Amino acid sequence: MRFAWVLLLVLGACAVVSAEKQADATFLKRQLQVLNLLRHLNQPLTDPELTAFKDSFSPLNNLNKFKDPAAVRDFVELVTTGKLLERDAIFSLFNPRHRAQMVALFKVLHGAVDYDTFFKSAVWSRDLTNPRQFLYAFSVAVLHREDCRGVILPPAYEVTPHMFLTTDVVRKAYQAKMTRTPMVIPMRFTGSVNNPEQRVAYFGEDVGMNSHHSHWHMDFPFWWRSEEFGEQKDRQGELFFYMHHQMVARFDAERLSNNLPVVEPLEWDQKIVEGFAPGATYENGQEFPMRPDNMNFGDLPWLTIQDMKIVEGRIRDAIASGFVKTTDAGLISLNNTAGIDLLGGLVESSARSVNPMFYGQLHNDGHVMLSKVTDPQQRYGMPPGVMEHFETATRDPAFFRLHKHVDNLFKMHKDQLPPYAASELEFPEVTIEAVKVIGTCKASTPNQLITYFDESHIDLKNAVHAEDQKQEVDIKAVVSRLNHEPFKYVITINAKKPVRGIVRVFLTPKFNWFGQQMPLDVSRWGFIELDHFPVSLQHGDNVVTRSSADSAVTIPEPRGFSQLMGDVQKSIRGEQVFTYDKYYRHCGFPHRLLLPKGKPEGMTYKLYVVVTDYDKDIVTAGMKPEEIESLPSLGYCGVMDGKIPDGKPMGFPFDRRVVSEEQFLTPNMKVVDLTIKNVKQKPIE
Ligand SMILES: *[C@@H]1O[C@H](CO)[C@@H](O)[C@H](O)[C@H]1NC(C)=O
Ligand SMILES: [Cu+2]
């Protein structure tokens, strides 16, 4: 459970309020139906209950059960006129036609006035629509419907395994299926030792991280119009900046752990030095294109490199001048803490962009340019590359290069803001006296943490067609993944009077690739946020203990499809209890990846801890600290509705320039060295 607990202090400490509830029969039934709906998504429904819904329900006969009957008619028209994307075509969210159809379906699903209508509409549309187009619309609807809170979507890598697995694994899965032999198939990372980039492939190809990234983009769709769909999406533009900024910082830390220099930003008129061979095949049999080394960007029929440079020039102008031009000839200042949110919307760009005609959609188009780089003029009918899907993009090292390019625009903006004044940094009542990090493994010594690689199984049942879904054999892929020992922070804080604070914890490599220590003003941009949490302090010394598992940026390992199905079925039979959490989030960095790998001989990092004033930072006055605590993955994924409780800019106080390191580090901050050691085997606890 998530809690910060303060020794020496019983009253006023943040207690845990678990948001978990025992599932009733209705919830269990719904959860089961959702799983059945997504099984063998590429094949028509066979489940008798769902097939009966499909045969008996028609949205046109239930128009009074939709908020927007016209939306239902529009989608039905797409179906009846045969305009929908073919089922075996490759759905791309970046393709305007594919997206418009998906939104048309989303409006039907999201606008159903009750759960029953929603679910039956989903069943009705499932076999009419392209499977991944359906999956995306359905998932976003589940994530945004009040009556679906707590419903768990099975991991994307088990619903659409082709998007995550290499071709050889899928082929072996088919062999296993044909011969009805249960099988565990090892999956290797792409590339070979001749390619230094392969040393960090375990990070870019981690299925949990790809899942986090794709869920972020479902929680914060760039096409979301809050006027139409409700939900304001508090600080969506800033989250776009910060979540991707953290992915890049995390990737760089991983590279340094593997003796690779930090990633270079892409430039539109320079070659893309590293190639990438995904070694994967779409469900329809088309191979994901591979990109040889040293390719140049090419003009697409509808978008040139020159267009990209012009749009980026306008964004740079806006940042440098401190003003953004609006469509009605107005100007909005960027010179404030809200500037980053505006800029995030502009750069992505999302439907929140204040002027998409003028500032374009730099980031989205960057994805498309990279996706189509091997066949820019579309002469050879190549399918989209991995960069065109949020669930596959991070496999390609170019993803991080594109995002470093984008991140540098945000840095340019942040560097223009005035550095924080002492009054904004200090918390005069509070002094951090000591910080210690303690691992739970037997071999651990204080301030030394251990990482290792372990194995994870991916259920492949959905990767192969099944004639008879009842007689399935167990087929799994086994992948190697980074993990770390559990640890806790022990922070001694002195308070001059009883106060509430927010503890913010950041990690950064101590040395750069050249082995030099970096000034804080340089290193700060690579800080990885490990956690932030509220704490109640009493007068005098307080020893605050916090478990790594409670991190505000990570989520625990999700349950696999089979396990989830088994748990639900057993609970329906009354053999076990199923609990659910209405705040459950699919978005969140996998907890396993909280720490960078480090080195076998140990690698030195710096841990920065900052305590700020809770009563100044929190903007959700009605919310208690323990309620804030029960919101998972706040740090990178914000909240699904309402306001993000912490009003400080994301990454505070390291998001702005540091003029003098000595003056910057006020007594409410503390830095300690920390070693991360990568060992061959999971250490004994
Ligand atoms: C930005 O605003 C600050 C006050 O918050 C001011 O001191 C500074 O001069 C402004 N910068 C520009 C470029 O206007
Ligand atoms: Cu992204």
Summarize pLDDT for 172-199 with one digit per residue, the tens.
Answer: 998 888 888 889 999 888 777 788 888 9
In this structure, is residue 447 part of a structural domain?
A: yes
| Helix, strand, coil in percent for the chain, rounding step 5 | 40, 20, 40
CA of 611 to the centre of ligand 1 (A): 26
Marked catalytic residue, from 197, 254, 312, 348:
348
In this prediction the pTM is 0.95
418 lines ligand 1 (CB under 6 A): yes
| Res. 640 pLDDT band, cuts 50 70 90 | confident
Please report whether residue 302 resides in a domain: yes
Task: Take atom 10 of ligand 1 and give the residue whose Cα is closest.
Answer: 335
**Does 373 share its domain with 349?**
yes
| 140 and 248 share one domain | no
- Single-letter amino acid code for the residue at 539: H
Q: What is the structure's pLDDT at 195?
A: 85
User: CB burial class (10 A; 0-12, 13-18, 19+) of residue 438?
Assistant: middle
CB of 421 closer than 6 A to ligand 1?
Answer: no
348 catalytic residue (yes or no): yes
Q: Which two tokens stand for residue 211?
A: 């899942």
Place of tokens 């599932």: 23
Q: Which one-letter DSSP state was computed for residue 649?
A: P
Is a pLDDT exceeding 90 seen at residue 601? Answer: yes
Max CA distance (Å), the chain: 73
Cα of 315 vs centre of ligand 2, distance in Å, is: 19
| 671 inside domain | yes
Question: For residue 87, is pLDDT > 60?
Answer: yes
Give me the sign of the Cα torsion angle 515, 516, 520, 522: negative
Is residue 376 domain-shared with residue 320, that is, in the same domain?
yes
For residue 454, what pLDDT is reported? Answer: 93
Same domain, 136 and 197: no
The CATH number for 57's domain is 1.20.1370.10
Query: In the structure, what pLDDT confidence band is assigned to residue 6 with cuts at 50, 70 and 90?
Result: very low
The domain that holds 354 is classified in CATH as 1.10.1280.10
Cα 334 to middle of ligand 1, angstroms: 10
Please tell me the residue having the least CA distance from ligand 1 atom 12. 335
- What ligand has the least distance to the C-alpha of 420? 1
In a domain, 167, yes or no: no
Does the CB atom of residue 322 touch ligand 1 within 6 A? yes
Q: Do 625 and 536 touch, CB atoms closer than 8 A? A: yes
Whether 381 lines ligand 1, by a CB cut-off of 6 Å, is no
Cα(266) to ligand 2 centroid in Å equals: 16
Same domain, 514 and 377: no
Instruction: For 37, list phi and psi in degrees, rounded to 5.
Output: -65, -35
Ligand 1 pocket test target in 335, 340, 414, 416 with most atoms within 8 Å of CB: 335
- Higher per-residue confidence, 467 vs 559: 559
Q: Based on the structure, what is the number of domains in the chain?
A: 3
d(CA 493, CA 57): 62
Domain of 641: which CATH number?
2.60.40.1520
Query: Higher confidence at residue 559 or residue 622?
Result: 559
Instruction: Let me know if residue 508 belongs to a domain.
Output: yes
Q: Is residue 465 part of a domain?
A: no
Q: Report the side by side order of strands in the sheet with 4-6.
A: 4-6, 540-547, 487-495, 430-439
Closest ligand 1 atom number to CA of residue 322:
13
Give me the pLDDT at residue 469, please. Answer: 62
Closest ligand 1 atom to residue 335 Cα is 1
Same domain, 199 and 277: yes
- Amino acid at residue number 363: H
Residues 98 and 221 in one domain: no
Quote the CA–CA distance of 394 and 593 in Å, as a whole number: 14
Counting residues of the chain whose pLDDT is more than 70, the rounded percentage is 97
CA 195/CA 171 separation, integer angstroms: 25
348 CA to centre of ligand 2 in angstroms = 9
| Burial class, 293, CB count within 10 angstroms (exposed 0-12 / middle 13-18 / buried 19+) | exposed
In the predicted model, is pLDDT for residue 215 greater than 90? Answer: yes
User: pLDDT confidence of 627, banded at 50, 70, 90?
Assistant: confident
The H-assigned helical ranges of 372-514 are 397-416, 422-425
Pocket flag, ligand 1, residue 335 (CB < 6 Å): yes
Indicate the SS3 state at residue 609: strand
Q: Which domain holds residue 135?
A: 39-152
Pick the last residue of a domain from 152, 179, 204.
152
